[in-house]
Structures are given as structure tokens and as C-alpha cells.
Chains A and B, each alone.
Chain A
Amino acid sequence: MTTGTIRLNGNDVEFEPGQSILDVARDNGIDIPTLCYLKGATPTGACRMCVVEVAGARSLIAACSTPVTDGMEILTDSERVHRARKLNVELLLASGTHNCLTCEANGNCRLQDLAYHYGITDIPFSITPQPYPTETDNPFIIRDFTRCILCGRCVQACNEVVVNLAISYGYRGADSKIVAGTDVPYFESDCVFCGQCVEVCPVGALVEKKSRYMGRPWDMKKVRTTCPYCGVGCQLWLHINKEGKIAKVTAVEDGAPNKGRLCVKGRFAYDFIYSEDRLTTPLIKENGEFREASWDEALDLVAEKFKELKEIYGPDSIAGVSCARSINEDSYQMQKLFRSVIGTNNIDHCART
């Protein structure tokens, strides 16, 4: 197949075989709103937020799931397109509770953005109450079904991106629900709490429990860092609140090596640094008990002891183990201390475990 040309909002543009209307539009700097579309997963066409007009087609076409064909004439910005999109948003707002005041996603919500964009002030439909209770029985993920718009991004992420195969669409029609296993809480299902569903939820239906009431999105500073657990080295965004604390952790989209993915430890096991158990002063053991000491006292004691042992027994009477969890610079510094100051190569770490 060769490249071809289409007419996009009156301009001729080129495309590559296999591209969707959405791809071509984005390549050409044209914004088409999406809700259910998830990069890297098969488009489902579920939300119809991305509809466009295609010459010759009777109904509007979902841009995310429709491949372009040579000669297509597409309008992304017509009156008809905008009417349909607005109606769509109104219908979504009418399904369930979308009370932004108490929502964690306030300020970080695709639905809120779209409602604002289309200037929706009241909803011309009666609001359908949502029958499913919120799931709060685990410490990490809250599932608020009243806010769920059934876009299915979480299902795509779980099944196609991280392939944990834990959630799917359940029930039908007005009873539709995203279910884990046979509609059990996450904790009782095959869910492995990677939280990729939370990462991709465009609204406030799936939120991190630990981050609740920690701060509003617009007050957060994002700092990029590397996960402190396994050797994959996933790239994280730390969302730091006004008090300087980590409010939540998300994945760096497109960052190497994890490309927007995390596991349970990288996403949720960050708050050990705030534990009350932290060591906060140097400690010296006296008569079998530890007592607090100043840095000067503790450092002098160790330095003197090392000098004395080196003097009497030689440098090889001292050995050290570095830390495979800590930063490179720390390991570098420790081996330098052992080699150049103490004078021994007795330095190792758990390279083998």
C-alpha cells in the first residue's frame, strides 16, 4: 500500500496506510475530542465523542476507529459534528452523578472539560440514578460507579495494555457496569492492583484512595523520578501537594522504559518514607542499649575505630556492604571510602540476589 491523500476540513493532506481519521487529524494539528480512545489499544468506538462528518456517509463516523481511505472528505469542525458531540456530553452528564465539588478528578476530568467547552449549564434530561454502590474496601483504589461513563478505557488498559485480564463489561443496557471477574470487588478478583485502570480513567470513577483530600490537581507540582523497587526502573510522576508531600504517583506517558505503565509497588508503595519508624538521629550502642548521639560524636567514633583497627590489624580487617537500593552516587562514594581511605577492596553488595 502507498500513501494517499484526503481532504480534511477543506485541505488536502497525506496519510499513511493503516492510519485512522483521528491519527491523520492529530498529525495535522487538528483536535478531535476523545473519551474512550486509548493509545496502544484497539479502538472500541464506544463513546462517539470523536464523531466527524464524512462526505457520502449518512451518519456521523467515529474518527478513532475508522481507517482513512484515499479521497475521503472529512469535516471535523462542522455545526452537525458539534451538535452531536454536545448531545453526547449531555447524555453522559445525565447518566449517574457528576458532582464536581466532591470529585477527586475535579480539574483533571475529560468530561468536565468537554462540558465546559460546550458551555453546558443544565442538563436537558432527567438524571438516571446509578444503582451500584461505591467500592472502597481496599486501601488503594476507589471505584465510584456513579461517576463511570462506561468509556471502557479501563477494560482496554487491563486487557490489552498490561494484560492482567481482570475486568470486563458486565450486564446490559441501563444496568451496564464495568465488572471485575464475576462482579466482585477488585480484592476478590484476579486484579493485581497495578492501577492502570486508574491511570487511564478520564473521569473520577476510579481514583487513588491514598490521594483523596491531599490536594487539588492545580495545586500539584509534578516531579519525574525512578521507581525505587525492581530492576525495570519505571519512570514515575510524583504529584507533590502544597505541603510538599507525595499525593499520588502516575506513570510517565511515553517515557522509557515503562511507556506509561506501572505495577502495584511503583504506583502505591511510596509512603514508607513518611513512616513514624524512620531513623532520625545517629544512635550509639552503650551497655546493650541504643542512645541518641550527635553526628559529630557518631562519626568520630566510627572514624577512630576504623583508624585503630586499620593500625592494629591492617585495612583488610574492615569490610563493607553497599546498598543495591540506593543511588549510584552512594555506592560510588562507599567504594571510594573503602578503597582510597581505608585501603581495602573488601567492598561488596548483594549483586547476587
Chain B
Amino acid sequence: MFLCIGTNMTEAHPVAATFLKNAVLNGAELIVVDPRKQPLVSFASLHVPIKVGSDIAFLNGVMNVLITDDLYDREFVSSCCVGFEELKAKVLEYPPKKAAELCGISEDLIREVAHRLAAAESCMLCYTLGITEHTCGKNNVMSTANLQMLLGNMGMECGGVNPLRGQNNVQGACDMGALPNVFPGYQAVTNPDARAKFEKAWGVKNLPDKNGLMIPQMMEGLVDGTVKAFYIFGENLANSEPDIAKVEHELSSAEFIVCQDIFPTETTRFADVIFPAAAWCEDDGTFTNSERRVNRVRKVSEPPGMAKPNWWIFRELAKRMGHEWSSASSQELWDNEVSVLAPSLAGIKYKRIENDGLQWPCTNEDHPGTCFLHQDGCFTCGLGQFNPVDWTPPAEVPDDEYPFVLSTGRRLYQYHTRTQTGRSGMDFLLPEETADISPADARKLGIDHDEIIKVRSRRGAFEVKANVTEQIPPGMVWMAFHFRDTCANWLTNPVYDPDTMTAEYKACAVTVEKL
């Protein structure tokens, strides 16, 4: 059985979705929790169309039923988890009636989901950014984990909490320590032993011991002057961050911006210096996918003109700032540094991943890699900790002035800000953005399919084609961020989860205006 919540898998992770659909054809049951009737719903035995941002209310409601009807996995909870009494107390505050009201669904549906989950031998929970891109994103994630622990669906092949990572190497960039709080392999920068280890390996003294800034804080620092220089490698922040007008103000406030990219983008306009970089296929290396599998990427051609591998550019800068680094190829970087310094990657060497990649943790060169975590209820940190959480509404909810909720995401035929897909012929399949709205709202506002309308939020407005579709429930507008002029991020709300600093891309308030 599968429980998919906040994941538009057939469009955002199409090949992963094929395996899920195979399982459904072979008799597996699928429950889809999503405000939209997105493509996966046609394979589901149950669609739970909760309101945008009501995930915790829903999950607490389901757990309420599991506990009050005594349907949860008592054995797993008592032997592998701690904090059950606190969880129980919290979810008892969410009887199905209350949860149903918050979610805009029926009480029976909540009960039905709970009973089906309890009846299933195991259930794999999959989520994507529908869970994380909220001001309560971290709590959403903890809530999914609470549910899976309560059901005893942990540490088994067809169970667990499975986030599908958005970009090809977002997992890898985290593993490599491109994060303000950890070195490669998630070793905390605040830990003196970890610092000592990296100081020795890198031949330096006094590595910084405080956590650094996260992207939104960096950008705010550009305006208040605490951050003077901003080095942007690859990201097209001017389109991909919420509230483009604010982002562009921040970028233009910087004293000095360096961009390193393969194309000129909306972001490189703000640069003082642009470094031309080698692209995919122009360098050897590795990507790490959502299953923590480290896969090889291979070079087949030279970068154009004077463009250079990214690692080379960083190495040259280090040299000019007084540091000679010895590794002079991706393989040397990986085999001699990354896998030596990150214990969970210690067993992964280029020679072992010539064909299929290896999944970390892989702690020595005889280790076969790890297919799923927390085997047999053995959590990496000892016992599984329940973290009871309360539902909180999105920071901006519809009101009289802005009566619709805008939610955003990706579409199948384009990728992010189209720097790549827009140059690969994909525009034929998806030439422009649309504002997806429900037939009921279209009727109410007198809007025809394909008619140009105006969508406005407190932060911006633009004209865009209406796409009237049954996928969308009344009261909602859905858009992507692939096209510049009609990028949903002119509208989105720059508010963040307080811990993870993930922006609330999934919910803000807008109006839809007939022209």
C-alpha cells in the first residue's frame, strides 16, 4: 500500500511514478492526499482532497482514529519508540470532526483512511515539496514520521517515510556539506572534533565554529549590509525564490556578486563577474539521487570556448587566496577527499560505481550499500522519537480582498526556470504558463478556457492564460515557475519555516480577475 501526500509524482518524478503504477496494476492500494485531482489520482482507490496547508490536521485526525479505535501497532510503538503519551495527548485534540473541518473533507474519509492504513500489512509513505514548502514544513515532515511509527511501518522495504528529492543532485549537495551547519557527511560545524578533523585534512586552522546563514538570510543580509559579496553557483534565484520583486531588490543591493553558470540567466544580470562553467556531459563526477544512490556522470565533450569545470574554478580561487589544493580531478576529489572525510561514503570509490551506483551508508569498501534505513526498527539515533505537532495555517490565507489560494509546483514538460528544457525543444510541448482554475470558479467569474486573465497577489500581478480544469478544486489557483513573465514567484509569499527556512511556495492568497 502507498500513501502519497503532497507529491505530484507522475510529473515531477515520472520514472519513480511508473514503478508505483506497476504496483497498483499488480494489486497494491494507493491513497493520494492532495488538494488537486492530479494524474496519480486516477490510479488511487482513495483521493483525499484536503485544503492546501491542512496536512497536519489531517494526519493528526488519522492518528486520532488509530489511537481511539486501537488500530495502531502497539508492539512497534512500545519496543521501538518513545514519546507515545505526548503524541496521544496531542492527537486527541484532533477528533475526526475537528480535523475534517480544518481539511475541508468529511469525517468519514478520515476514518476510512485510518482503517485502511491499519488494515494494510505495510504502507510506504511518499512525499515531495507539498509537505515541505510550507511555514510548517518541518512539522509536516515530523507528522508523517509520527504516522508511520504509529503504524509500525518503519525499517522495512515497503514502508518508511520517503521524500522524493526535487533536483537531480539536491541530495548530493546536502551530503557534500553545501549547508551552513554541516561539513560533508553531516558532521556538525559546531562540533570541535569535526572541526579538528577537517582542519587537519584541509591543512588549515580555526575553521568557523558558528552555523552560517541560509539562503533567505543571506539575501536579507544583502539589503541590511551584513553580507557584502554573494557567490551564486548555478542557481537562478531571480526566478526561483519567492517574491521576485523582493529578490531583485536584494540582488541589486549587493556590493559584489559573482555568478558561475552555463547560461546567462535573469540572475546573472546582477553579477559583477560571471564565470563560464562546464555543463553536464562536460565533466566527470557523481550525482546522488533520492535513494541516496551515488551514480557516475561522465564527460563526453569539452566545455565550449573558455568554460571550465566548476571544481577547477574554485581551486583557482583558493590558489589566488593562498591555498594550494592537490586534488585535480573529480575522481581525486571524491576518492581522496569526500569518501575519506564522510564516514557514510567511505566505501564508495569511483571504481566501485562504474556500473550501478551504491546507496549510502556504505562504510567500507566491502559494504554493499544500504537500500533502506532504520532496518527492523533500529533507528540511527536509538529509539524512534514521536514529535507531536499542532496544525498551523499558512501565513497568508484567502480573505475578501484576495479570495483564492495559490499553490505552485512543477509541470512535466519543463524544468525549473527553463534554462535547460527551454533550450531542448520542450517549448513545443509546453510553450507557456497557465493559471489552472476550477470549472466552478471559471463559471462564477465568466472566464473561458484559454482566456487571458489577471492573477494578483499582495506582491505582484501578471496576465496569463486561464486553464479551466477539473484537476483544481474551487477556491484554488495552481501555477508553475517555468516562464519568466508569468512566473508564479512574482506572487508567492516570502515567508519561511522558522527552522528549515523553506519558503511557503505552496500557499499564498491571490485574486483572479477577468480582463
Contacts and interface: CB of A to CB of B under 8 A. Distances in A.
B281 A273 contact: yes
B351 interface: no
B307 A321 contact: no
Contacts of B291: 233, 257
A234 B218 CA distance: 33
Nearest to B413: A264
B309 to A, nearest CB: 8
Interface stretch (A85-93, A173-181, A277-285): A277-285
B169 A325 contact: yes
Given A231-B170, A328-B288, A352-B501, A279 B262 contact: yes
A334 B172 CA distance: 13
Interface in A290-326: 290, 293, 295, 298-303, 305-307, 309, 313, 315-326
A331 B176 contact: yes
A319 B230 contact: yes
B356 A255 contact: yes
B173 A324 contact: yes
A335 B424 contact: no
A110 to B, nearest CB: 24
B443 interface: no
A230 B308 CA distance: 24
Interface in A261-288: 261-266, 268-273, 275, 277-285
Interface string A13-26: 00000000000000
Given A227-B168, A246-B281, A278 B263 contact: yes
B132 to A, nearest CB: 7
Interface in B446-460: none
B304 interface: yes
B429 A264 contact: yes
B218 to A, nearest CB: 4
Contact of B212 (A272, A330, A345): A345
Interface string B275-289: 111011111011111
Given A330-B285, A348-B218, A225 B298 contact: yes
What band does the interface of chain A fall in when counting residues whose beta carbon is under 8 Å from B? 35 or more
Contact of B168 (A230, A264, A285): A230
B295 A226 contact: yes
B167 A230 contact: yes
Q: Is the interface of A mostly helix, strand, loop or mixed?
A: mixed
A337 B279 CA distance: 20
A304 B306 CA distance: 22
Contact of A140 (B213, B276, B425): B425
Given A245-B301, A303-B317, A339 B218 contact: no
Nearest to A318: B229
Contacts of A160: 22, 25
B503 to A, nearest CB: 7
Contacts of B226: 316-317
A278 B235 contact: no
A228 B280 contact: yes
What band does the interface of chain B fall in when counting residues whose beta carbon is under 8 Å from A? 35 or more
Nearest to B410: A230
B276 A233 contact: no
A277 B18 contact: no
A347 B173 contact: no
B428 A349 contact: no
B290 interface: yes
Given A256-B293, A334-B178, A329 B317 contact: no
A229 to B, nearest CB: 6
A188 to B, nearest CB: 12
Contacts of B321: 303, 306-307, 341-342
Given A232-B290, A238-B281, A299-B316, A353 B305 contact: no
A333 interface: yes
A285 B260 CA distance: 14
B165 interface: yes
A328 B271 CA distance: 24
B425 A269 contact: yes
B424 A270 contact: yes
B180 A345 contact: yes
B276 A280 contact: yes
12 contacts: A230-B168, A230-B415, A231-B170, A232-B16, A268-B426, A306-B229, A309-B229, A317-B229, A322-B176, A327-B283, A331-B173, A336-B325
Top 9 nearest A-B pairs by Cβ distance? A280-B305, A233-B289, A323-B234, A327-B285, A345-B212, A231-B165, A263-B14, A303-B320, A163-B21
Given A318-B230, A328-B294, 15 more contacts: A140-B425, A224-B296, A231-B170, A246-B300, A265-B421, A272-B422, A302-B258, A317-B228, A322-B176, A323-B235, A324-B169, A327-B283, A334-B231, A335-B177, A352-B503
